[in-house]
């Protein structure tokens, strides 16, 4: 079956101003004795993605990089052409003409040779499947808000995406084994775990906004300057825990607990599920209430609980992603056309999205700290080794250097482990095209298991796979 790859939506870039999706460390800067940057080649996979404009803007802002090539890849020729015109416009407006060149192709193998960085933002068949991902589980009583990283929706996205991702990595090993691979595509944990199963040459990191955004959110609600707040955070993607949160040695959690107990407060109303988890488990979690509610067995299994804890939008609204994502995708394209026509002002400031800071640190060998998704080799002692975790990672001229965290509090680790079991089976299902492993993955999924019996889960899994069979490489019709 032919590959079906479309560009990743801009959904995860939501509400940047409100959430403060910014890194927690200061920019790497070239210092005396450090090496100067050189011309580089950056490949954008899924160039139709909403990530392309901000990430390319950031890359063009790196002061130590004299220029290079932005290679755009997307199998959707119309969106690829839009991305090409957009990047040309950015280069012109930012005064980088003659320093940076742009190429565009539907064939990634043409773009990969000599690449220094691969930024993966692909979306595989999402517009064709997003309603199935939501509506079929809902018929069985499994209610999802986002459904792209865990649960039935996350599993089906993994089954569609990982086969193509494996081919991307195989081509990269052959054509650009020296490249650093930056993955933005969900389901993040399963994508990174799958990569670890199929490549030993490539350095791969999974990048999300949730640590940056949540740390700024907590500084605001604690009433302290962000650059004066100290914190530690580790766990898994969308479920990492801020185990320490201080300001000049003072614990900030009592302030947050007091605000969370007031259900009329801005803090609680903005994040009812996260506040409730903090009050009962003792620490705040990195992802929005809507996403988090899907990682847990507590909040989405009964009508009365939904009414109590679930709010609109990213606070947990049922079907929020399935209903809105196609429109968000069209909106991204229309905004791009307006930028190209000069009808909207182009923002040229550098953001705190991780990609450009990784490139700068790698090129200059000036260390920079991110929080990334990497494989657990002695990083978090009480989470499964060899699986994907989210921890601090130092980036320098050697690439990615994950930092040891130690042990999470046992109850926090247990919640993470319940998700990691599902991820492990989901990756097996995707790599082996296994209906049995897919059903087992959902039998281990915390939300699905809270709602359905094993027999019902197997029936739902079969219905999902049969509905999307034409989009699932390797699966046989049942």
pLDDT digits (tens, 9 = 90+) for 397-446: 999 999 999 999 999 999 999 999 999 999 999 999 999 999 999 999 99
Q: What band does 35 get if pLDDT is binned at 50, 70 and 90? A: low
Q: What is the pLDDT of residues 182-205, one digit of tens each?
A: 999 999 999 999 999 999 999 999
Q: What CATH topology corresponds to 6-128+149-208+332-365?
A: Rossmann fold (3.40.50)
209 a catalytic residue: yes
Q: What is the pLDDT of residues 347-361, one digit of tens each?
A: 999 998 999 999 999
Instruction: Please name which of 292, 354, 362 lies closest in space to residue 24, comparing C-alpha atoms.
Output: 354
Backbone angles phi, psi at 399, to 5 degrees: 105, -135
The active-site residue out of 21, 24, 84, 209 is: 209
Beta bridge partners of 391: 372
Q: What band does 36 get if pLDDT is binned at 50, 70 and 90? A: low
Q: What is the mean pLDDT of residues 244-249?
A: 98
Q: What is the pLDDT of residues 65-79, one digit of tens each?
A: 999 999 999 999 999
Q: What band does 478 get if pLDDT is binned at 50, 70 and 90? A: confident
Q: What is the pLDDT of residues 132-184, one digit of tens each?
A: 999 999 999 999 999 999 999 999 999 999 999 999 999 999 999 999 999 99
pLDDT score for 339: 95
Q: What is the mean pLDDT of residues 47-65?
A: 97
Over 80: is that where the pLDDT of 225 sits? yes
Over 60: is that where the pLDDT of 21 sits? no
Over 70: is that where the pLDDT of 249 sits? yes
pLDDT score for 273: 98
Residue 364's Cβ-count burial label (10 Å; 0-12, 13-18, 19+) is buried
Prediction pTM value: 0.93
Ranges of each domain in the chain: 6-128+149-208+332-365
């Amino acid at each position: 079956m032919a590959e079906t790859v479309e560009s990743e939506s801009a959904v995860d870039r939501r509400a940047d101003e409100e959430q403060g999706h910014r890194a927690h460390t200061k920019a790497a800067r070239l210092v005396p004795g450090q090496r100067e940057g050189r011309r580089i080649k950056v490949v954008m996979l899924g160039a139709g993605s909403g990530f392309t404009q901000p990430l390319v803007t950031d890359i063009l802002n790196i002061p130590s990089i004299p220029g290079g090539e932005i290679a755009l890849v997307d199998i959707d020729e119309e969106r690829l052409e839009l991305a090409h015109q957009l990047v040309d416009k950015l280069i012109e407006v930012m005064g980088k003409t003659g320093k940076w060149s742009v190429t565009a192709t539907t064939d990634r193998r043409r773009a990969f040779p000599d690449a220094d960085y691969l930024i993966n933002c692909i979306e595989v068949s999402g517009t064709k499947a997003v309603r199935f991902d939501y509506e079929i589980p809902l018929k069985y009583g499994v209610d999802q808000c986002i459904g792209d990283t865990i649960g039935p929706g996350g599993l089906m996205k993994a089954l569609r995406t990982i086969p193509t991702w494996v081919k991307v990595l195989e081509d990269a090993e052959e054509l650009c084994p020296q490249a650093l691979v930056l993955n933005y595509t969900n389901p993040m944990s399963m994508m990174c775990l799958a990569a670890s199963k199929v490549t030993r040459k490539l350095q791969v990191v999974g990048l999300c906004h949730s640590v940056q955004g949540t740390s700024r959110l907590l500084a605001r609600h604690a009433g302290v300057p962000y650059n004066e707040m100290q914190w530690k955070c580790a766990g898994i993607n969308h479920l990492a825990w801020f185990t320490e949160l201080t300001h000049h040695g003072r614990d900030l959690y009592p302030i947050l607990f007091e605000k969370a107990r007031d259900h009329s407060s801005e803090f609680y109303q903005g994040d009812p599920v996260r506040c409730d988890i903090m009050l009962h488990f003792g620490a705040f979690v990195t992802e929005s209430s809507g996403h988090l509610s899907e990682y847990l067995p507590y909040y989405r299994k009964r009508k009365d609980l939904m009414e109590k804890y679930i709010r609109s939008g990213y606070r947990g609204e049922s079907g929020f992603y399935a209903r809105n994502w196609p429109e968000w995708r069209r909106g991204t394209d229309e905004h791009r056309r307006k930028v190209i026509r000069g009808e909207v002002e182009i923002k040229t400031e550098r953001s705190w999205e991780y990609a450009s800071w990784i490139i700068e640190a790698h090129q200059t060998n000036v260390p920079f700290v991110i929080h990334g998704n990497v494989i657990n080799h002695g990083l978090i002692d009480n989470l499964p080794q060899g699986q994907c975790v989210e921890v601090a990672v130092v980036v320098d001229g050697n690439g990615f250097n994950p930092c040891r965290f130690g042990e999470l509090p046992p109850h926090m680790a247990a919640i993470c482990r319940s998700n990691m079991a599902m991820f492990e089976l989901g990756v097996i299902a995707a790599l082996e095209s296994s209906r049995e492993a897919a059903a087992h993955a959902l039998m281990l999924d915390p939300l699905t298991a809270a709602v359905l019996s094993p027999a019902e889960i197997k029936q739902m899994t079969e219905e999902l796979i049969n509905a999307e069979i034409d989009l699932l490489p390797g699966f046989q019709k049942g």
